[in-house]
Structure 1
Amino acid sequence: MVILTARDEKRGLETVENLKACGLSHILFHQLEVTDQASIASMADFIKNKFGKLDILIVSSNLKAEKFIEQSYEMGEACLGTNYYGVKLVTEELIPLLQLSDSAKIVNVSSTMGQLEVVLNEKAKKELSDTDSLTEEKVEEVLKRYLEDLKEDLLETKGWPVNFSAYIMSKAALNAYTRVLAKKYPNIAINAVSPGFVKTDLNHHRGILTVEQGAKGPVMLALLPNGGPSGLFYDQMEVSTF
């Protein structure tokens, strides 16, 4: 059984009906706002009461990248709040249910825009690439410094990306968080994946891949056999660098 979530209940229910019309019958819908702790807790209770555990968590939480070509502090904060902190809130709430599964997987849908070569700020790049000492606290300290410099209009001066900077930093943080989680929970296969530039509503269907093509990487990681790789970043279906 698959539980599909969306912040917009009407659109979520319509999507479920469309999928069922295509012959995909084992789908339920539950409303979820990833920045709302009460909404997250409600979904966790739903899963616990109906199924008792969770086998696979695929998290695809995004605000449109194009909204953040050049952004205000408030927009940057909103981007990080959804794309990084929202993912973290959902994951923390659902890990106890994943630990009840004997084949648990977490798949974080990320982007090649979050690879460290795009980050530019050398101090941030060094900290986020130091896998041995990486922690959630260090990841969030990088984000805090980024937001402070964004607020003071110092992105270019301090060596941060200027265009799409909040989106880039949110995905770089998500990739780092994936590695932290993989070390913390060795019994769960936890990976991040860029599905590629997929034609979706988020990019006004300007992508080059179909939804089916974009789904291949996340589905592959969701269905890994026990003992499969963990703590890696995939560009579509191939292992890539963080």
Structure 2
Amino acid sequence: MEGAISSVPNTRIAVVTGGNKGIGFEVCWQLASGGITVVLTARDETRGAEAVEKLIALGVTNVVFHQLDVTDTSSIATLVDFLKTRFGKLDILVNNAAIGGVEYLQELDTSEETFAGMDFDQMLEWMVKNVRERIDSAKKGVQTNYYGTKHVTEAVLPLLQSSSEGRIVNVSSIFGLLRLISNEKVRRELSDIDNMTEERLDELLNRFLRDFEADALEACGWPMGCSAYKVAKAAMNAYSRMLARRHPALRVNCAHPGYVKTDITMNSGVLTPEEGARNVVKVALLPDGGPTGKYFAEGEEASLCEVPAGWRRVHGPVRRPSADELACLPCHVV
């Protein structure tokens, strides 16, 4: 599939990670429909190639597949070599690849009938109740959702800088909002982009995983329910803002597509993948000189500090830990 298209001068080039299904597939379709040459990437070669064939059958020919495992440095390097050889630049990077960081309960009915009559809050509650959180899944979630995004971004940065209109869109979530972290010190650090460093983000993520393994998440003020997904997305949001400050010529933003019916949400949700993708593509196509270092929710610039409507109903109040809890040995963040 790599030889299916040729480079056209002055055509914008986009890479979409996790592009073989769901939101990622729809992002590829919408970008390609707008005349942008799209490199659809996926971990599984068969599924990725089938996704490209499906797009071609839908009428777009300016799309090509390249295998990419965002947790594999050699896979990332191979993609970069392909982009250099074929295009010599990159204009848009959409970091969509992600996993839930949880174990899904088996044999759940996720048909439309299951969610008939449920509102947003009830579907969210159903989803959180039907997953198990284990340390191995949490580690994979952090590795994919934060480090995978970071490593792909860093690898293609020189190509993005070769473009006159470089764009990075990191697909985020309301689960990454800072107000969902009740540990005030951690929340304050993640807010302080002027003083945050990548090394400190590493320390915080390592601390989170140690607290997870010690069964000390709640006492230490980490978010509960899909906790690894939330913390990884919060870290990714912080990294995105740092990157925007470091590279002001690029447009680097986070985009929450909405509560979308995908594999991660077990097909619960209120938006279709097409609708969610539209909210991501809108950020990817912001005009020159547009916002950078921002968080967008369903296509509109938003705050990282607001608690989503219905959150307290599902998860209880966002609670600040006591001094005794924050002083406990397994979870003291220094």
TM range (shorter): over 0.9
How do 1:1-242 and structure 2 match up within 5 A?
1-64=37-100, 67=103, 69-242=131-304
CA displacement at 1:193 relative to structure 2? 0.6
CA displacement at 1:210 relative to structure 2? 1.4
CA displacement at 1:177 relative to structure 2? 0.6
Please name the residue that 2:24 is paired with.
none
**Structure 2 SS opposite 1:106:** strand
Distance across 2 between alignment mates of 1:235 and 1:197: 10
Contact 1:44/1:93 (<8 A) preserved: yes
Contact 2:101/2:138 (<8 A) preserved: no
Distance across 2 between alignment mates of 1:131 and 1:93: 22
CA displacement at 1:154 relative to structure 2? 1.2
Count, aligned residues = 242
CA 70–120 in structure 1, closer or farther in 2 if over 3 Å, else same: farther
Aligned-pair identity in percent equals 48
| Residue ranges of structure 1 left out of the alignment (5+ in a row) | none
Structure 1 residue ranges, 4+ long, deviating more than 6 angstroms after superposition: none
Greater alpha carbon shift after TM alignment, 51-60 vs 73-82 = 73-82
CA displacement at 1:97 relative to structure 2? 0.5
**Paired letter, 2:54:** N
RMSD: 1.4
Distance across 1 between alignment mates of 2:101 and 2:211: 20
CA displacement at 1:153 relative to structure 2? 1.6
Contact 1:196/1:235 (<8 A) preserved: yes
Distance across 2 between alignment mates of 1:198 and 1:66: 18
**Paired letter, 1:185:** H
Q: Deviations over 1:37-62 (max 9, x none)?
A: 00000000001100000000000121
Q: Which of these two proteins has the greater Rg computed from alpha carbons?
A: 2
Greater alpha carbon shift after TM alignment, 143-152 vs 91-100 = 143-152
User: Normalization by structure 2: what TM-score?
Assistant: 0.70
The structure with the greater share of residues assigned to helix is 1
Contact 1:116/1:172 (<8 A) preserved: yes
CA displacement at 1:65 relative to structure 2? 5.4
**Structure 2 SS opposite 1:201:** coil
CA displacement at 1:138 relative to structure 2? 2.1
